[in-house]
Amino acid sequence: MATPNPFTGARYLLAAHTTQQLPPDGGFEVAFAGRSNAGKSSALNALCQQNALARVSKTPGRTQQLVYFGVPPKDARYLVDLPGYGYAKVPQDLQAHWQAFLGDYFRDRFALRGLVVVMDVRHPLKDYDRMMLAHARDRGLPAHVLLTKADKLSRGAAGNTKQAVRMELWRVYGEGVSLQLFSAQSRLGVDELRAVVASWLEL
């Protein structure tokens, strides 16, 4: 008998552009970070078994705020979609605002219990990914790396990339980071991701 998915009831709650717009700092939340085009929205949708919870855009960099999704039936359980950029043509002042906002969020947000860093398996560990992992390390938060679009590589090539990334993560960040292969298209690794996030949210 399949285990019920605790995330199917997730719903959009709010979008915050400043720390003052965040919900009260209580409960549990897990943040999702990823460069533009890494597949973050698709991963969130697959996690929650919904087609359009998080926007999947053909224009990278559309997430320009911290987007909160509430996870019922428990109170104050949230998934948080962080701004991603890379390919996006974003003004420098907006990028500076994001970096300052995210720095404050990681430093001060008591409810934050873990970080999922979404990376395209073909292009892992870019500067943005390392910056996000450093935020988690500095705060002492667990992080989970999602190597997405694994269906785009052969099984052997995906496994080799996973091993190379694992070695680098261990060398730089130590034991606080786990990782897995993932494909929203083939549903590879969805159950594994669900288990990690549910444990952090104590669902």
Residue that wins the pLDDT comparison between 109 and 59: 109
Residues 93-152: tens digit of each pLDDT: 877 888 888 899 999 999 999 999 999 999 999 998 999 999 999 999 999 999 999 999
Q: Is residue 4 part of a domain?
A: no
Q: What share of residues in the chain are helix, strand, coil (percent, to 5)?
A: 40, 20, 40
What confidence score (pLDDT) does residue 95 get?
Answer: 78
Q: Is residue 160 part of a domain?
A: yes
pTM recorded for the entire structure: 0.93
What confidence score (pLDDT) does residue 75 get?
Answer: 84
Count of domains in the chain? 1
Q: Is residue 3 part of a domain?
A: no
What pLDDT band is residue 65 in, cutting at 50, 70 and 90?
confident
Taking phi first (over 0 means left), then psi (-120 to 50 degrees means alpha), and beta for anything else, what does residue 172 get?
A: alpha
Print the domain residue range for 196: 11-201
Q: Is residue 6 part of a domain?
A: no
Q: Is residue 50 part of a domain?
A: yes
CATH code, domain with 189: 3.40.50.300
Please give the torsion angle defined by the CA atoms of residues 138, 121, 149 and 130, in that order, rounded to the nearest 10 degrees.
20
Residues 139-194: tens digit of each pLDDT: 999 999 999 999 999 999 999 999 999 999 999 988 889 999 999 999 999 999 99
Strand partners, 67: 15, 81
